[in-house]
Chain A
């Protein structure tokens, strides 16, 4: 029974992890940018939701799409006016500039929101129900469902919509995409905006489930990173699955080895996945 509960915890947690990884994987896969500011964007989305909730009294789940929209605009502008300036320089430079951006965002957030921790705490935040003796927290379940819905939306966008095909086309061959009528400046900004919007939703849910400080970004970037790699960059559902794998692995590690081993497991898993699947990694190089 304990094991089942732990597995359920892991799976539900994994949904949120997957959602964090989703935006990262999208931006990475399409723009070839490993966005070290992704965690900072998640944090920003969390604060946006927080202020919509505490400031305007909007229910957090209603606030999520608004926060996502706000984050989309921020992401769009970041790419359009900053990252687009360097997309053609070395890969290392995109790493550095996003690292710089994460520092800037973090410390701006500290100036704006102070270093105090915040929680998004609606009345139903601790609600739960039991199925056959297994407790299921309502908010975690909602986060899990939202993760899947958004993965579906991303999949639909990329595979069934013209703009999505343009996004993928740009990712695969910039020159050809330009020759076939795609404006890459817009497509890049759009993609980064969508990535930021996904980060925004993840941030809102993260704020409801745990707490926010301006500094949570760094850890979340690392986590999103791991999940994006384990899930692969091509299929949104696989990213969510990657999140679930990490979630379950962490919970099992926590149960059998002790919670201090959580990081060993998730990062160890990352290295193992990379090393035992060299074929894929080499092809993508």
Chain B
């Protein structure tokens, strides 16, 4: 018994003697803890890959100038195993023992919510492109910035478009997951639906990750709505479509999903059943998006595809913009002091492969969503504030495809 107590103390002490690495000169260290394993690993990898690619690109181009010295960026990435508690610990570790200078974010709103507290606690800026929930920015924190547009406006452009198509949907069903991000989306969407003069006849919330929609689908069928607006996570979107087909549920005109549609995995998993699905993205690899390091968004996408073997989506682009935010802010601040950099980030104003980056008062970027649709297995941008391509509308019933 005595020995076991001793053993415990030793183990405890061992963990106490964590390593203390010293940062090399002329290097700015960026740190992030992302989901490389566990339930969120599927999307988490976008962030690791985008961070890597962008840091390498910036270093290859000679690094960044701070004052009159040239600095290289260095990237420390830890795997939080999709465990929120671990990710919080890892961010502290990054700051306090791995001595990183600045923080990049994890994926998903609930992680961003927890991890940004570390940034705020130690007053080191974190720029994250993985959480869109309004909750992250409503706490009055000063050190958290985000490159995903506000969740409440995700459906704004979609609803805008619905006003301009024929026939215009009159009745709408809203199906939303119950997590932080989707609750924000749903709240905003209800308002947009009302403003557009449409009628919300079915408003259903489901357990995030539950994957079981037959009851909701049967209710959609019996209420015979014109359009379905759906928000949740990717696998749930997948199940929703598959179950809609097997229960033969067809909204009269239209359905749209906040996530999934832009990703290649999603289209591949669903095959032909993915066709006609509408979705949205805050980013498309257009040549019109000019970038200091990559040239434009398309070259970014090509480089990414070449290096990692899969196509980037808006998660990746948003992650790249996070790294670039630091690059611009460091040069502008002319210092690596956290407070100086923080103020420089707040004043960010630059074009990037992702978008024009400019943070609002609360630290969040504002971007319109581009409405996209899968047409014959291809992702086609349809609408921003005007029609880009002709939508396949209304969506044909399952039996008539």
Binding site for B on A (CB under 8 A): 1-2, 5-6, 9-10, 13, 107, 110, 115-119, 121, 125-128, 130, 135, 137-140, 209-211, 213, 215, 219, 250-251, 254-255, 258-260, 262-263
Contacts and interface: CB of A to CB of B under 8 A. Distances in A.
B242 A210 contact: yes
Contacts of A130: 248
B207 interface: yes
Contacts of A117: 42, 234-235, 238, 265, 269
Contacts of A137: 246-247
Interface stretch (B111-119, B210-218, B283-291, B360-368): B210-218
A102 to B, nearest CB: 14
A210 B239 contact: yes
A271 to B, nearest CB: 19
B38 interface: yes
B248 A128 contact: yes
A259 B270 contact: no
Interface of B: 37-39, 41-42, 45, 178, 204-207, 209-216, 218-219, 221-222, 234-235, 238-239, 242, 245-249, 265, 269-271, 273, 398
A250 B242 CA distance: 19
Given A110-B41, A128-B248, A259 B265 contact: no
B86 to A, nearest CB: 15
Nearest to B214: A9
A5 B239 CA distance: 19
Contacts of B216: 254, 259
B218 A5 contact: yes
Interface SS of B by simple majority: helix
Contacts of A1: 222
B207 A259 contact: yes
B239 A2 contact: no
B215 A6 contact: yes
Contacts of A250: 212, 215
B270 A121 contact: yes
Given A117-B265, A251-B214, 18 more contacts: A107-B37, A110-B41, A115-B38, A121-B270, A126-B398, A128-B245, A128-B247, A128-B248, A135-B221, A138-B246, A213-B42, A213-B235, A254-B216, A255-B215, A259-B205, A259-B207, A259-B212, A262-B207
Contacts of A139: 246
Nearest to B238: A211
Nearest to A5: B218
Given A9-B218, A213-B42, A119 B269 contact: yes
24 contacts: A1-B222, A2-B222, A5-B222, A6-B215, A9-B215, A9-B247, A115-B37, A115-B39, A117-B42, A117-B238, A125-B242, A126-B242, A127-B246, A128-B246, A130-B248, A135-B221, A215-B39, A219-B209, A259-B206, A259-B212, A260-B205, A260-B207, A262-B212, A263-B210
Contacts of B214: 6, 9-10, 13, 251
Nearest to B269: A119
Given A1-B222, A125-B242, A259 B215 contact: yes
Interface centre among B45, B206, B248, B398 (most CB of A within 10 A): B248
A192 to B, nearest CB: 27
A167 B124 CA distance: 63
A233 to B, nearest CB: 26
B245 A255 contact: no
